[in-house]
Structure 1
Amino acid sequence: MFDRPRAGQNAVLVHVEFPGSDFDSDRAEFIELVRSAGGHVLDVVGGTRKLPDASLFVGSGKAQEVAEVVAAQCAELVIFNHALTPSQERNLEKILKARVLDRAGLILDIFAARARSHEGKLQVELAQLQHIATRLVRGWTHLERQRGGIGLRGPGESQLETDRRLIRDRIAALKRQIEAVRARRARSRVARDKNAVPTVSLVGYTNAGKSTLFNTLTGEGVFACDQLFATLDTTVRRMALAQGDGIVVADTVGFIRDLPHDLVAAFRATLEEARDAALLLHVVDAADSERMTRITQVEGVLEEIGAAQAPRLEVFNKIDLRDDEPPRLERDECGVVRRVFVSARTGEGIELLRQAIAERLALTPEVRDLCLPPEQAKLRALLYQQRAIQQESVSETGMMQLRVCLPAVQLQRLFRQVGFVDPQASAADADAAF
């Protein structure tokens, strides 16, 4: 029989350097992750490999070294800063005589501890069940086949299959509940689109200061702390810009290197707030020496959730932690704002950020003359709802001639809602093709 080792928080960490990895940075983040999960770090065992070992990930010699450290430190847990297969975890536990956890399991454990809302708990439970479904055999190794003989007859494979079926049923139920959450969020986005209220989503690496910036922008008091994954539950609040225009700001879960795919899939309903946003505020920790690497890693997650093409504005936060870093805007060669340097904690540069958001959303009202056919009466009604029509007349051919005053982004959203093709955009496309 194979019995799981006892539980505990005293951990030995294993971090292996592979070609192309940043050993020191990844090691420091790994230690912070373990501490965020409540683990007590006894020792860190390092090493280098070109490729993982198929059986033990680290090779038999390194596994024996880790086993000696575990015995000397009386450790109860060994955490690997890498993804392990179920068989690798099982083989390592037999040698190390301690529980073994990989990076994905560690992150899932942190998420499980931090989830507060019903939606967040559903998403974390789904990710955990999907992660452990293939590892279920570890706890039933002694029952994985029927055995003959006195005292060895028992539930055998039927017990394992029962547990697998229960997990499959629970996963299916969670997916149905999360799909209902997804539909509710979609209805909320449709309602905001109908009212021509643009959504701005905060995204970025974990602990970049997104929640603190969210509180500063909206005046809310969502939980913000200097720790990894302080925010798991998306919060959406209204915010007024300098010219009085209203927008909606969404605070989302932070990203991290090698975010488990099960977790990305489970949080897809939440991350759709980022995918469908009119503008992404990519919050970057300006005091992080690895900030450019973090930007690349966040871009990878955005691509995975289908938000790679969403317009974005980089917000370099925590400038108060850097010497001689004033708040400012940075524009590209076309004059478009691409970066804003702020401190969410002290408030430096926040007005510049509001200005940049308004500029990128083009929320300054514009006057336009529209010529609508009679079948576009719904668009006319929506424009009246927005109090955007200044003048109206009807031509001899029955066309509705309107003079409207509305921010361009809101006008284009109304066009999309009714399926109206903007003649100005069509003309611009034709000129570009020519």
Structure 2
Amino acid sequence: MKKELKTTKNETESVILIAYHDKKVDETTFQSTIEELKSLAKTSNLEVLEIFTQKRERPDQQYYFGKGKIEEVIEYIELNDLKVDAIIANDELTTGQSKHLDELFNTKIIDRTQLILEIFAQRASSREGQLQVELAQLDYLLPRLSGHGKSLSRLGGGIGTKGPGETKLETDRRHIRTRMNEIKHQLETIVSHRSRYRERRQHNQAYQVALIGYTNAGKSSWFNQLTNDATFEQDLLFATLDPKSRALTINNGFNVILSDTVGFIQKLPTTLIAAFKSTLEEAKYAQLLVHVVDASHPRYMEQYETVMALVNQLDMGHIPMLVVFNKKDKAPDLDLAVSEHSIFVSTKNKADKQVFKEHLVNMIKETMTYYEMDIPSSNADQLYWQKVHTIVESSEFDESDETYHIKGYKQT
């Protein structure tokens, strides 16, 4: 059997990227997917030796690339006497394409979906995350079992060595479907627990805010800044996979539940949208979305639009949104705004934390209902409840009747 790809701190493996350029897609958009594929390779500790692209009406049915371009790639490898551990395609390959490319190159053939799945396998730390990864991998493998298993076996023994494993590739479809049903049942139990927890929060009138955005935009950095937490943050794609929620106190007492979510990406495989739906549930049931955008990225507006398209696809377009253009320290001269609810900040600037919170409070108030009420000074419990569960704008004490006159905003 051919050597499986491994990624250790001491070993970086070499890959060649191949990308079909649909003639209907403009150059800028196409290049952004190439940059993203390079970033995915970097996240997997892979060294990109060369990138080959070909503009066509459609991918070649047999080989993805045309025969002439394939020969150019083979010639490049042979002339430079290169040791190539894998060829990575920028699109999801059919079973036939993967099989024919494998025969031509005699090395691992991986597509964009497999690469993303492997990164997810590395990053998932919770039981739920690991089950979701395995489900997505099996869902990807099932229709491809009738080809060859050489390249597909990479999912079992490749990066991170997590996932279904090569032995599962040798089992029949019924065995895989049985395993998928088992995973779905376990995930339903986990989702049911989270649903009950969410209902309890809603019953307690906890206001829910979800951080969303493109992968590596800085969501986890802001999550940490605002909640003083220690969520894993690093300059890599998909640094956060497992949904995480923490309490955040604003306006001197009002409690908010802040959730961090998995990052979005171009060409997100449909199997992953389905498998990781529960990681986005916190966002789907939020009363406010905070969309974090990496303002220092050369194609930040494309990333913004990709996230907005997926937000609408996931039926979240009706939820109010604060857009946070992040990493101002790396792009100080930009003039950014997509709506009146946009801010331009950096986690490196301490004053921006307060700016963020002030805008967060203002946005939350816009989703609530204004109220006024009188509370006797003897009713301390009611005074405390108002402070924790509503945004109290002012509290004036009337000595004549020993009553507090409260003005503020409450959830509808």
2:30 corresponds to 1:45: no
1:106 equivalent in structure 2? 115
* Partner Cα separation in structure 2 for residue 288 and residue 160 of structure 1: 39
Over 3 Å counting, the alpha-carbon distance change for 1:43 and 1:28 in structure 2 is: same
The one-letter code matched in structure 1 to 2:125 is R
CA shift at 1:162, angstroms?
A: 4.7
CA shift at 1:226, angstroms?
A: 0.9
Task: Select which of 304, 308, 313 maps to 1:304.
Answer: 313
Unmatched segments (≥5 aa) in structure 2:
6-12, 151-167, 374-381, 390-403
1:420 equivalent in structure 2? none
- Look up the SS of the partner of 2:356 in the other structure: helix
1:156 equivalent in structure 2? none
CA shift at 1:287, angstroms?
A: 0.8
Greater C-alpha radius of gyration:
1
Unmatched segments (≥5 aa) in structure 1:
142-158, 370-382, 390-402, 413-434
2:4 corresponds to 1:7: yes
TM-score (norm 2): 0.80
- Whether contact under 8 Å (2:371, 2:410) holds in the other structure is no
Question: How big is each residue's C-alpha offset from its partner over 1:35-82, in whole Å with a ceiling of 9 and x where there is no partner?
Answer: 111222222212211211111111222122223334432212100111
Structure 2 counterparts to residues 19-168 of structure 1, below 5 A = 19=23, 20-21=25-26, 22=28, 23-71=30-78, 72-139=81-148, 162-168=171-177
CA shift at 1:315, angstroms?
A: 0.3
CA shift at 1:231, angstroms?
A: 0.6
1:342 equivalent in structure 2? 345
- Whether contact under 8 Å (1:213, 1:345) holds in the other structure is no
* Partner Cα separation in structure 1 for residue 344 and residue 247 of structure 2: 22
* Partner Cα separation in structure 2 for residue 140 and residue 292 of structure 1: 40
- Look up the SS of the partner of 1:306 in the other structure: coil
2:247 corresponds to 1:238: yes
* Partner Cα separation in structure 2 for residue 331 and residue 83 of structure 1: 33
2:356 equivalent in structure 1? 353
* Worse overlay, 279-288 or 343-352: 343-352
* Worse overlay, 54-63 or 20-29: 20-29
CA shift at 1:190, angstroms?
A: 0.9
Over 3 Å counting, the alpha-carbon distance change for 1:66 and 1:319 in structure 2 is: same
The one-letter code matched in structure 2 to 1:34 is A
* Partner Cα separation in structure 1 for residue 250 and residue 19 of structure 2: 46
Structure 2 counterparts to residues 372-391 of structure 1, below 5 A = 386=385
The one-letter code matched in structure 2 to 1:83 is E
- Look up the SS of the partner of 1:343 in the other structure: coil
The one-letter code matched in structure 2 to 1:16 is Y
Over 3 Å counting, the alpha-carbon distance change for 1:133 and 1:76 in structure 2 is: same
CA shift at 1:354, angstroms?
A: 0.9
Question: How big is each residue's C-alpha offset from its partner over 1:143-196, in whole Å with a ceiling of 9 and x where there is no partner?
Answer: xxxxxxxxxxxxxxxx99952111111110111111112111211211111111
Task: State the percentage of identical aligned residues.
Answer: 35
CA shift at 1:243, angstroms?
A: 3.3
* Partner Cα separation in structure 1 for residue 240 and residue 258 of structure 2: 15
- Whether contact under 8 Å (1:366, 1:405) holds in the other structure is no
Give the number of aligned pairs. Answer: 361
CA shift at 1:99, angstroms?
A: 1.3
* Partner Cα separation in structure 2 for residue 164 and residue 345 of structure 1: 51
- Whether contact under 8 Å (1:18, 1:51) holds in the other structure is yes
* Partner Cα separation in structure 2 for residue 351 and residue 261 of structure 1: 38
* Partner Cα separation in structure 2 for residue 407 and residue 170 of structure 1: 52
Q: RMSD over aligned Cα, in angstroms? A: 3.0
The one-letter code matched in structure 1 to 2:277 is R
* Partner Cα separation in structure 2 for residue 404 and residue 122 of structure 1: 52
Task: Select which of 184, 191, 200 maps to 2:200.
Answer: 191
TM-score (norm 1): 0.76
Structure 2 counterparts to residues 386-405 of structure 1, below 5 A = 386=385
Task: Select which of 180, 184, 187 maps to 1:171.
Answer: 180
* Partner Cα separation in structure 2 for residue 331 and residue 140 of structure 1: 47
Over 3 Å counting, the alpha-carbon distance change for 1:384 and 1:17 in structure 2 is: same
CA shift at 1:404, angstroms?
A: 11
Over 3 Å counting, the alpha-carbon distance change for 1:404 and 1:89 in structure 2 is: farther
The one-letter code matched in structure 2 to 1:202 is L
- Look up the SS of the partner of 1:73 in the other structure: coil
- Look up the SS of the partner of 2:251 in the other structure: coil
- Whether contact under 8 Å (1:66, 1:96) holds in the other structure is no
The one-letter code matched in structure 2 to 1:281 is V
- Look up the SS of the partner of 2:315 in the other structure: coil
The one-letter code matched in structure 1 to 2:292 is V
Question: How big is each residue's C-alpha offset from its partner over 1:91-112, in whole Å with a ceiling of 9 and x where there is no partner?
Answer: 1111121111111111111111
* Partner Cα separation in structure 2 for residue 229 and residue 271 of structure 1: 14
Over 3 Å counting, the alpha-carbon distance change for 1:407 and 1:267 in structure 2 is: farther
- Whether contact under 8 Å (1:202, 1:251) holds in the other structure is yes
Over 3 Å counting, the alpha-carbon distance change for 1:140 and 1:113 in structure 2 is: closer
* Partner Cα separation in structure 2 for residue 270 and residue 404 of structure 1: 42
Question: How big is each residue's C-alpha offset from its partner over 1:287-346, in whole Å with a ceiling of 9 and x where there is no partner?
Answer: 1121111011011221222212221110011001123469x9x695xxxx4101111233
Over 3 Å counting, the alpha-carbon distance change for 1:404 and 1:104 in structure 2 is: farther
The one-letter code matched in structure 2 to 1:41 is V
* Partner Cα separation in structure 2 for residue 136 and residue 5 of structure 1: 19
